[in-house]
């Protein structure tokens, strides 16, 4: 039995420097092999082209595209698409979140953000992952952040930014039909950009705090479109110098 970390193609394309910090942590601290994606050969040239030229792209292209995940293997990820696909294509693996790995690490240098107050945005793609949701809140609390909750939290959430307001990627429907088909009633209908923006703005009106925290890159995109000061949990954990002054924006 082995353990792996999936770096996530989409997350890395959006946050290449942050992802490099995370990869350094899981490789050096936990000795986990890092792969790009949950399935082999997925749009390798496309995502490499989204990386900035230079060391970050070279390091990304040096990673295996995937791995031969087997029964009993534990696969850590911060991509809920990957988790859903593995659960349906490799049900004998154990999928876990990056947040659970960090929370269990007693030596992780948790940054401190005293005086910060944030509303937690749960993700539809992880709505049944209570262990992950609890780990998110535990980490925020340990970093000194006062947590505020939405009415539609935990398993009640129906939010994942604008990703639910456009057709689902064919790969997701093929590899995880339960999550992205059977359990997605009312989602993945096409909306115009104007409709998407209006729905995100309406969602943002229920937040009682200026700042919101997400643990999904799609959720983060939606919260930013809603006009909130939104930050990814990974950034709070691995980019403390950047985020200590975030609330002053």
pLDDT of residue 248: 38
Integer angstrom CA distances of residue 242 from 18, 109, 232, 234: 11, 15, 12, 12
Query: CA–CA separation, 39 vs 135, rounded Å?
Result: 26
Collapsing DSSP to helix, strand or coil, 246 comes out as helix
Going from N- to C-terminal start, the domains of the chain cover: 1-107, 109-167+186-249
pLDDT of residue 244: 77
| Number of residues written out for the chain | 249
pLDDT of residue 203: 98
User: pTM value?
Assistant: 0.96
Beta-bridge mates of residue 118: 147, 211
CATH 3.40.50 fits 109-167+186-249, yes or no: yes
pLDDT of residue 245: 62
pLDDT of residue 249: 36
Cα torsion 121, 125, 131, 132: sign: negative
Distance spanning both ends of the chain, measured CA to CA:
46
Tell me the pLDDT of the chain (249 aa) as tens digits: 899 999 999 999 999 999 999 999 999 999 999 999 999 999 999 999 999 999 999 999 999 999 999 999 999 999 999 999 999 999 999 999 999 999 999 999 999 999 999 999 999 999 999 999 999 999 999 999 999 999 999 999 999 999 999 999 999 999 999 999 999 999 999 999 999 999 999 999 999 999 999 999 999 999 999 999 999 999 999 999 989 764 433
Given a contact cutoff of 8 angstroms between Cβ atoms, the answer to whether 35 and 6 are in contact is yes
Given a contact cutoff of 8 angstroms between Cβ atoms, the answer to whether 69 and 4 are in contact is yes
């Amino acid at each position: 039995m082995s353990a792996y970390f999936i770096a996530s193609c989409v997350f890395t394309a959006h946050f290449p420097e942050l992802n490099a910090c995370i990869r350094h942590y899981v490789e050096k601290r936990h000795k986990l092999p890092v792969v790009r994606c949950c399935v082999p050969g997925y749009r390798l040239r496309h995502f490499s082209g989204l990386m900035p030229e230079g060391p970050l792209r070279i390091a990304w292209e040096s990673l295996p595209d995937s791995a031969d995940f087997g029964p009993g293997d534990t696969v850590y990820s911060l991509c809920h698409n990957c988790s859903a696909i593995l659960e349906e294509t490799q049900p004998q693996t154990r999928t876990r979140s990056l947040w659970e790995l960090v929370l269990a690490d007693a030596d992780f240098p948790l940054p401190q953000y005293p005086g910060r107050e944030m509303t937690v945005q749960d993700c539809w793609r992880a709505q049944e992952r209570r262990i992950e949701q609890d780990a998110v809140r535990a980490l925020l609390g340990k970093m000194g952040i006062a947590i505020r909750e939405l009415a539609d939290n935990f398993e009640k959430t129906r939010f994942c930014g604008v990703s639910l307001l456009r057709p689902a990627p064919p790969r997701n429907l093929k590899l995880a039909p339960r999550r992205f088909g059977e359990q997605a009633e009312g989602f993945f209908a096409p909306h115009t950009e104007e409709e998407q923006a209006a729905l995100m703005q309406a969602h943002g009106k229920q937040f009682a705090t200026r700042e919101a925290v997400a643990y999904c890159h799609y959720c983060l995109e939606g919260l930013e479109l809603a006009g909130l000061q939104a930050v990814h949990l990974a950034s709070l954990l691995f980019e403390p110098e950047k985020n200590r002054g975030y609330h002053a924006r």
